[in-house]
Chain A
Amino acid sequence: MALTTDEVLAGLAELITDETGISADEVALEKSFTDDLDIDSISMMTIVVNAEEKFGVTIPDEEVKNLKTVGDAVTFITSNQA
């Protein structure tokens, strides 16, 4: 069964915390990965690969560039879940 936006956001926040140490409370839909959360491209890719495994989606390299905010990622994941 497809996960809700809140469930994906909570799961993604866990992955972000694991990779960067950023508190899950700081992870919100409107936050920019680079400008607000200061996540670099290597950490971003680690989060992407872990998200693929966690949510059962495929996130191509060219799509990663379009994921500017946490909300972009949550939308992509919820729209592409099997």
Chain B
Amino acid sequence: MTVTLNQPTGPAHTRIYAYGAARGENAVPNDDLIGPIDSSDEWIRQRTGIITRTRAVASTTAIDLASDAAAEAVERSGIDPALIDVVIIATISNPKQTPSVSAIVADRIGANPAAAYDLNAACAGFAYGVAQADALIRAGAAHYAVVVGAEKLSDIVDPADRSISFLLGDGAGAVVVGPSDFPGIGPTVWGSDGSKADAVGMNHTLVEFRDGQSPWPTLRQEGPTVFRWAVWEMVKVARKALEEAGVLPEDLAAFVPHQANMRIIDEFAKQLKLPESVVIGRDIETTGNTSAASIPLATHRLLEEHPELSGGLALQIGFGAGLVFGAQVVVLP
């Protein structure tokens, strides 16, 4: 007799229940960084829009930041952590390749034995994680998911680097995703372009460092190349995410791009022709660029400062090393 397998199906819709945030303990002003790059506060502000960035003390890890952000999201969601059955953490900066950040965080927040894995999609990592959580829940593979973007980038900066190091900060942003009576997460438009892998990323391998062939590996970027791609190519991705969600720019309550650089955010918003009613995430001014953490951190701040955004639509788009990108429209909790 032939046995027919059970194959699960899930709810039709998902949504984000709540956000959580954690930032490095120290606010690091531009003046603390200008010496080794022979620069000035004005030079950094003009090129990046950053006034201070948050960086963690030596004893605080990306795991600590992720745990704090996830715990806040879970508490705010009202979901019993024991019901969370998948924890996805987007990160590129944990100095230990294994064990994963996610397994430790799942245990710390009371979600043990949830499935747990880290994903490497750099500054698009949070959008990738939301896409996966949405798909896993709607497929019946999980019931409730925690998605975190968590970085301690200050461990992989070179104080003398003028390309990216002075932009970077430490932090983690988290969400709880679960079933919904209405569509709360729009289609994800995502992809990659590995032909531009050299545009942004680590400058050396750990093996080169071990063998004395390079200094400690740190992040570097081809700023102008990344800027052109991040604005004019990513605008097309953002428009497609709106179109696939069936949303017009004037339907948005908020726009939360990856907090790469204020100049990118400003030009992006200009190219998208967003109406003035759309509130734009600009957390970079005091947090810096926190890669995978930047979108949920910026959204968390928007919801704190503009509680009236709750229930509105937000377009979020991440883009970065790979190159990789991911965008979707979500309903704000």
Q: Mark B36-49, 1 if CB is under 8 A from A, else 0.
A: 00000000001100
Q: Mark A32-68, 1 if CB is under 8 A from B, else 0.
A: 0000000011101110110000000000010010000
Q: Which residue in chain B gives the minimum CB-CB distance to A53?
A: B232
Chain B residue total in the interface (Cβ 8 A): 13
Please indicate the chain A residues that have their CB under 8 angstroms from the CB of B267 in the complex: 46
Cβ distance A47 to chain B, nearest Cβ, rounded Å: 11
Cβ distance A51 to chain B, nearest Cβ, rounded Å: 12
Q: Mark B206-232, 1 if CB is under 8 A from A, else 0.
A: 000000000000000011110110011
Chain A, interface SS category: helix
A61 x B222 contact (CB < 8 A): yes
Q: Which of A44, A48, A49 has the most CB of B within 10 A?
A: A49
Partner of B47, one of A40, A46, A61, A64: A40
Chain A residue total in the interface (Cβ 8 A): 10
Please indicate the chain B residues that have their CB under 8 angstroms from the CB of A40 in the complex: 46-47
B224 x A64 contact (CB < 8 A): yes
Q: How far is the CA of A41 from the CA of B47 in the complex (A)?
A: 9
Interface flag for B108 (CB, 8 Å):
no
Task: Known contacts A40-B46, A40-B47; decide if A61 and B224 are in contact (CB<8 Å).
Answer: yes
Please indicate the chain A residues that have their CB under 8 angstroms from the CB of B223 in the complex: 41-42
Q: Which residue in chain A gives the minimum CB-CB distance to B271?
A: A49
Please indicate the chain A residues that have their CB under 8 angstroms from the CB of B263 in the complex: 42
Cβ distance A45 to chain B, nearest Cβ, rounded Å: 5
Q: How far is the CA of A64 from the CA of B228 in the complex (A)?
A: 11
Q: Which residue in chain B gives the minimum CB-CB distance to A19?
A: B267
Q: Which residue in chain A gives the minimum CB-CB distance to B229?
A: A61
| B247-268 with Cβ < 8 A to chain A | 261, 263, 267
Q: Which residue in chain B gives the minimum CB-CB distance to A52?
A: B232
16 pairs across A/B with beta carbons < 8 Å?
Answer: A40-B46, A41-B223, A41-B224, A41-B227, A42-B47, A42-B227, A42-B263, A44-B224, A45-B224, A45-B227, A46-B267, A49-B231, A49-B232, A61-B224, A61-B225, A61-B228
Which residues of chain A have a CB within 8 Å of any CB of chain B?
40-42, 44-46, 48-49, 61, 64
